[in-house]
Structure 1
């Protein structure tokens, strides 16, 4: 154990707005700290996200954890942070959007709220494109906007030339008195390709090591690592209150066996969700939907999100697994599917004017569109009987999808009434068929602790032949 509650060095990487370079700066910083300073760094990501965390996990060798003020209580955030940082030299939280951007005018769920909850200093990444002296009032405003949020340093991104840098530094020194902890030239290659939901997941890149070496080299040359470490270490005590973070468990040797689709097509899983299933007594077996040609003898199936449309030709080609899943569902196999998993269970996916056959277990088609159909937090109320949630329950989650369902069989039931977000049709989400619940809504186990116990209980019933 490297830390106690009061000595966890920590910082938050924030920005005045999205697309300022937070993710590339964070990845470069973490790579430099891990590989050049030989530090153990625990990464965190503010908000619901799967893609950025895949990169932060890759570069640190430690599962990135999400912290979200809309989905989680402050006590849960603090407990998770402490629990997962105790054996690290320091912790870094990558923010989202602008520092003070939240779900309402009070900034609820913002990166700033996470910084306040963790008593963590913020390093502000500023895109300085077409900006000189104006950097001072911009940064000054962020410094003074919330007295409980400490802006401890600035990283200047996309700096044009030496004269540009000199003017930026002079303005910040004269008017703000804040240290510049990095200067990234405009022509420096610190970028990662995008896809329609954000960065390409780390697991899909075959040239990762070269890209990460370049990011690390840029970080070492452009960032003041000593200054950044000094900021992270100059933090007040952080006390844990009420509840502890979930302790990972391995499940009972004799517990029900839950299959999890985990491959390049289905990679969107919070580590807490998988740990929660194990803690509830399940054994997990991972299934590659691209290459495993049949379903193993599992007691339940969990299919998370991802990019099934990108890998649709390979999913279609694996007809053995698709048919195996369809037959198992007909026999009553409990299945919990989120977003990409929902899409896989339908008849076909149409993307870029081509259609690909999917599982066919549920009677609907999926159409991919260029514009997002659902993007942000989703709140639903359970209104119909289903395998996993009691009626009346309110579930907070999130959705990220460019797809919509078409040709939906009118006989299917919907478990959820959408209170916030889009879901399947703006009003409903959570298709129910036999022991299947398939929704666009992604949940996080720390905000929905009964979910894992319900899935494992349903798997146990199926295992022993008890009717659903």
Structure 2
């Protein structure tokens, strides 16, 4: 690692509370900057896959997650600096309210991220049924934490010109910070969503049209020149390279094990760092289309991330040969690591409403979709059972967000690897179903926070390749 001062224009998009419009403002800002020719590096605070998929599509740069619960502060600063070093501006979308965290001290909050990377904050305020009262609200945020600089305000859901005038005057007179944008109330600044949030950008090409409309609207609503000035006011950051993601340790290309990765419309939830960590540990990645792929290629291990297999359950069921290949190869000892949607694919079936769809049947259990989340938030597990990838006693931090639950599990032929100390997991107490060289759980981990995971998966792949 090395110390290095980097001048990186940057801004954090935050809000007093969730549902204030952070995501649409962020996407609009990214699209507007991209239309103006800027090279923009996006970041997302906290665990999320869907918003980052849109941010990646808009900017052409892989969005990175910054998470104070999953990552140490040094890793946050290092990841930010590493990926933002060559951009014109970095934009970080916050989560929840600016100072909302895991405890009374705001641990893991968007404010903590802003402090870690020394970034000014643009505060998005939902001004519904509000005029002059915007001033004490904004001042409360400005003065709450001297380590977090609120550099400007975006007024959202403004109804008419008189409303805008009152809001502007209140902010400028009483708060001493500029208004960076005004977004009128209406559907002009919205994007499609579904039961777990936005629709992933990879699913439908026509959703890109929504991005163009948002960018055009943002050019009218946001003061780009002023926002760029705010971003440019950030101090030089003293950053370090990320530890743990070095060059491949494989001796040569021919010795590298091949890890198959389901990556298609149904399975889109992968942190870039997870894939990079596998490559750095010596693997060659081969992406597999679980919807349209004709068969399972000759791989030495399989990584199935999350996504929306329930939405594409009919297509996944129709691809019977791939399902059979996965089942047969797992039965033969193929190392398989699966998270959430991957767990669902390894089940016997997925039931949603009145319909039931056959899955691979690698694990003797069924999955049933529910109307409400069955697990939502950070998950912490302790490794207590035999499994292919983690040593006993290891604490694994991750997150879960699923509307599905496991039913009809045959516990006589599987084991549980994890004891849940925070979160829901499979049954509130356990997670991590294992059978042979398969481990499947609802827990999504991040490779920067769990560096031993990639090395273990590559080691199992290499052993299987040698066998």
* Partner residue, 2:266: 265
Match of 2:289 in 1: 288
With 402-411 and 200-209 compared, the bigger mean Cα shift is at: 200-209
Query: For 1:430, what is the secondary structure of its paired residue?
Result: strand
2:208, 2:443 → 1: CA distance? 33
After superposition, residues 244-323 of structure 1 pair within 5 angstroms as 244=243, 246=245, 252-254=252-254, 255-323=256-324
* Corresponding residue number in structure 1 for 2:33: 33
1:244 and 1:329 map into 2 onto residues whose CA distance is 33
Query: How many angstroms apart in 2 are the aligned matches of 1:47 and 1:250?
Result: 30
Alpha-carbon distance in structure 2 between the residues aligned to 1:246 and 1:183:
42
Tell me what 1:354 maps to.
355
Residues 61-460 of structure 1 aligned to structure 2 (within 5 Å): 61-187=60-186, 189-241=188-240, 243-244=242-243, 246=245, 252-254=252-254, 255-411=256-412, 412-460=414-462
CA RMSD after TM alignment:
1.3
Give the equivalent residue in structure 2 for 1:463.
465
- Deviations along 1:243-277, one digit per CA (max 9) or x if unpaired, are 55735769752200000000000000000000000
C-alpha displacement at 1:188, in angstroms?
A: 5.1
Deviation at 1:345, TM superposition (A): 0.3
Cα distance in 2 for partners of 1:6, 1:147 equals 23
What's the CA shift string for 1:208-258, capped at 9, x where partnerless?
A: 332111101111000000000000000112102585573576975220000
- Unpaired segments ≥5 residues, structure 1: none
Does 251-260 or 110-119 show the bigger shift? 251-260
- d(CA) in 2 for partners of 1:409, 1:253: 41
1:167–1:307 CA distance, 2 compared to 1 (3 A) = same
Give the match for residue 5 of structure 2: 5
How many residues get paired? 461
**Secondary structure at 1:163's aligned position in 2?**
helix
* Local SS of the residue matching 1:381: strand
**Distance of 1:241 and 1:317 partners within structure 2:** 48
Q: Deviations over 1:76-115 (max 9, x none)?
A: 0000000101111111100001100111111000000000
Gaps of 5+ in 2: none
If the length of structure 2 is used for normalisation, what is the TM-score? 0.97
1:13–1:124 Cα contact (<8 Å) kept: yes
Verify the 8 A CA contact 1:373 1:404 in the aligned structure 2.
yes
* Conservation of the 8 A alpha-carbon contact between 1:21 and 1:125: yes
Does the 8 Å contact 1:249/1:275 carry over to 2?
no
Does the 8 Å CA contact 2:81/2:240 hold for their aligned counterparts? no
Give the Cα–Cα distance (whole angstroms) in 1 for the partners of residues 89 and 30 of structure 2. 10
- TM (normalized to structure 1)? 0.97
CA contact (8 A) 2:79 2:242 kept: no
Runs of 4+ in 1 over 4 A off after TM superposition: 241-245, 247-252
1:131-163 CA distance string (max 9 Å, x none): 111111110000001010000000001100000
Partner of 2:186, secondary structure, is: coil
* 3-state SS in 2 of match to 1:152: strand
Q: Is the 8 A contact 2:304 2:341 kept in 1?
A: yes
Q: Partners of 2:203 and 2:293 in 1: how far apart?
A: 18
The CA distance in 2 between the partners of 1:34 and 1:237, in whole Å, is 24
